[in-house]
A and B are shown apart, each in its own frame.
Chain A
Amino acid sequence: MGKYKQFILICGGTGCSSSGSGDIIDSFNKALEEKGLKDEVQIVRTGCFGFCEQGPIVKVLPDDTFYVKVTEKDVENIVNEHIIKGRRVQRLLYVEPSEKEKIEEYIKMPFYKKQIRVVLRNAGAINPENVEEYIANDGYSALAKALTEMSQDDVLKSISDSGLRGRGGGGFPTGMKWSFAKRAKGDKKYIICNADEGDPGAFMDRSVMEGDPHSVIEGMSIAAYAIGAQKGYVYIRAEYPLAVQRLRKALNDAREYGFLGENVMGTNFSFDIEVRLGAGAFVCGEETALIHSIEGKRGEPTSKPPFPANSGLWKKPTVINNVETLAQIPVILLKGADWFRKLGTEKSPGTKVFALAGAINNVGLVEVPMGITLREILYEIGGGIRNNKQFKAVQTGGPSGGCIPAKYLDTPIDFDNLIALGSMMGSGGMIVMDEDTCMVDVSKFYLEFTVDESCGKCTPCRIGNYRLHEVLERITSGRAVIEDLDKLEQLGNVIKDTALCGLGQTSPNPILSTINYFRDEYVAHIQDKKCPAGVCKNLIRYDINPAKCVGCTACARVCPVQAITGTVKKAHVIDQDKCIKCGACYATCRFGAISKI
């Protein structure tokens, strides 16, 4: 980085790019040009900082200033004040909601204080499109070490000793998976990176690939060396154009620098990687379905065994790992298994990236050691619940996971504890729900997802989930009887036990966990025909209180179906048979005369 005195890091992640960080970069370039500062100040377009909620993010080094919600109009100000005069632009600093104080330096932000960034080590720090910056931060030195100083078994031992477990959901020990594939017989072997990131609401894999694509390539190369593969595939969602583009660029650069291709780094190890796009099917995240998809077929799972490690892509031994798992590999080889084991818990060592979303102040990506409590993540890092509402539940594991209520906020998070709570780690999505969320509606939402995404191959999942959905539909529209709750539980358990693949085997989790922890809410829907959170439309009732109504006629005019009648200055009434529960009158009345129950 030599000649530059100052650096302006601008977030080029998807979140910030959508709120205009590209234009901000252009403006900085122009402003620096005009002031003749081009040779002194370097502009770096980085990957996601994790603090997407407050984007676009601009960070200035070396004084470690963190600006939030920057717009094009602020650029001149930052250049004139900060870059030239050395004075921070106060109005762009981040204000912690709980402390109301402006935070000048990045390292003092509560959002980052508890984080340990291993996977995200480079995201937000380097230009992901410049391989030299990756190299300058120890990039590809783990691969060099593996190829020149370690045997295949040394690598396997190091990964096994680290206790690393797959970050794609299952938590299977990575070292063990690799050993199976190494031992398996086959003239060809493959390594696949699972970048299908299907859980809606999770975006950690995307950020790794956008912010640090070379770490994934390096991890794959090390895996390939360890198991003896010559070819790798990255299976990535087509919905992530920026990640695809950066990955392709990184692959080309890696080839050019001799990190990929024939005789990598002059050794006799040869390995190359191809990109394959997904096509919007959640089930393709499942490993056997993913393999079929790469083969150009419908993404339907097949039963295991045989496991891919023995018979995978084109029936050859294949290792499939998640993006985050692979990004951990180079660090483990460089710093050692013991170092890794010091992070996290005994059975789940290391760090995990979580995507915080929903009713939380700091939506974004956080990387924390395993064993941290939910409370620490939600309140200390996440800044607490939005708009000072009451916390109700946090959903982990996406459509395969469950909802965890307030009484378990102090549980240390790792693979096994989450399963014990009826949820799972999944890929690391964490959706926070407040008092305004209806838990029955939430399970219906997830089940709709499952019904849509079921591949249809096996009956329990195809028909069973459909039936579950019908029952939920009855509950949310006030047509259910209390026995329906038992039906949900029974059928849910049958589906879990009998479905062919992980999708069906976990799809009842959202229902079962909410019945377990929020039974009252289900009962209220069924017996009292009420939705306590006021979400389920069919159970809401709007009424006009004649004592408060002044007869202004405003509601009657906005009602789209003319369900409200009354004469001027007289109390109005809602015809319940006509009312479509749109809530327009409720939003319009300025006299608080309309109630919603």
Chain B
Amino acid sequence: MNETMEMKLRDVADYVDTLKLEGKDQEVKRSYLIHTLHKAQEIIGYLPVEVQKLIAKKLGLHASEVYGVVSFYNYFTMKPKGLYPINLCLGTACYVRGSGPLYEELKKLLGVEEGEVTSDGIFSLHAVRCLGACGLAPVLMIGEKVHGRLKKEDLPRILEEYRQLAKTQNV
């Protein structure tokens, strides 16, 4: 385990402490599990086994119970994502406006499959269902930014934008 990971784990532990769950009912503690996993994923970017174990200990659960929850919910991932995760919407509104072919095109442009990270670490590709921006269908989201009314031709330009951004971030 490297140093940054250790630091991040400490952040997660500190966060759980702020919830002041010590001495509370087991039921109440457990009800903070999903909440805590969200926070941990926000801090680390994904949910490696170490953090699952840590959360299990803090909330008085067995590690297998935590893993059971992590693997059940689509939002949680045990694999690291790219610097800019690309979430392409395959919800119904986007699908009927052609997000299917866009998804294929992105796979081709990035050379990755669903959930994979590009070799330069900049992007990862994820299919999601409805970002609630159906008015702009078809859409994709990179970070918190939604790109809407997409056409195939727009994709290379958008990717390039983020590649340039990545350069300025020194990664």
Contacts and interface: CB of A to CB of B under 8 A. Distances in A.
To the question of whether A and B form a pair in one complex, the answer is: yes
Interface of A: 14-15, 17-19, 52-53, 55, 197, 199-203, 206, 238-241, 276-282, 293-300, 314, 355, 357-359, 363-364, 395, 398, 429, 431, 433, 437, 442, 445-446, 449, 455
B96 A433 contact: yes
A123 B37 CA distance: 32
Contact of A296 (B33, B93, B96, B97): B33
Interface stretch (B4-12, B117-125, B136-144, B155-163): B136-144
Contacts of A202: 130
B32 interface: yes
Given A357-B92, A433-B96, A280 B74 contact: yes
Contacts of A201: 91-93, 130, 134
Contacts of A53: 135
A238 B136 contact: no
A206 B89 CA distance: 16
Contacts of A55: 135-136
A581 to B, nearest CB: 12
Given A358-B97, A437-B96, A280 B132 contact: no
Contact of A276 (B35, B133, B134): B35
Contacts of A314: 27
B145 interface: yes
Given A294-B31, A357-B137, A241 B131 contact: no
A523 to B, nearest CB: 23
Contacts of B92: 199-201, 357-358, 395, 398, 429, 431, 445-446
Contacts of B68: 298
A314 B90 CA distance: 35
A455 B72 CA distance: 8
B27 to A, nearest CB: 6
8 contacts: A14-B133, A240-B132, A279-B74, A281-B74, A358-B96, A359-B96, A446-B92, A449-B129
A238 B41 CA distance: 12
A199 B35 CA distance: 23
B165 interface: no
B97 A277 contact: no
Given A15-B135, A241-B144, A295 B95 contact: no
B171 to A, nearest CB: 24
- A-B pairs with the 3 shortest C-beta distances? A52-B135, A200-B91, A18-B146
A321 B96 CA distance: 30
A295 B90 CA distance: 30
A575 B135 CA distance: 41
Contacts of B27: 295, 314
Contact of B130 (A19, A203, A294, A358): A203
A199 B132 CA distance: 10
Contact of A200 (B32, B69, B73, B129): B129
B79 interface: no
Contacts of B90: 200
A239 B137 contact: no
Given A15-B135, A281-B73, A363-B137, A358 B129 contact: no
Interface in B67-95: 68-69, 72-76, 89-93, 95
B115 interface: no
Given A239-B131, A357-B92, A19 B74 contact: no
B129 A279 contact: no
A450 B133 CA distance: 22
Contact of A18 (B31, B38, B129, B136): B136
A113 B132 CA distance: 25
Interface string B27-61: 10011111101100000000000000000000100
Nearest to B130: A200
B18 to A, nearest CB: 15
B13 interface: no
B96 A277 contact: no
A355 B91 CA distance: 13
Given A431-B96, A437-B96, A296 B132 contact: no
A298 B69 contact: yes
B93 A358 contact: yes
Contact of A445 (B34, B95, B130, B137): B95
Nearest to A207: B132
Contacts of A18: 133, 136, 139, 145-148
Nearest to A446: B92
A282 B91 CA distance: 12
Among B37, B130, B132, find the residue whose CB has the most chain A CB atoms closer than 10 A: B132
B63 interface: no
Contact of A239 (B96, B128, B134): B128
B153 to A, nearest CB: 12
Given A18-B146, A296-B69, 12 more contacts: A19-B136, A200-B89, A200-B91, A200-B93, A200-B130, A201-B93, A239-B128, A276-B34, A276-B35, A279-B37, A355-B134, A357-B134
Contacts of B131: 14, 239
Nearest to B96: A358
A296 B31 contact: yes
B129 A296 contact: no
A15 B68 CA distance: 35
Nearest to B31: A296
Contacts of B132: 14, 197, 203, 206, 239-240
A19 B148 contact: yes
Nearest to A277: B38
Given A296-B33, A314-B27, A279 B75 contact: yes
Contacts of A298: 68-69, 72
A446 B31 CA distance: 32
Contacts of B37: 279
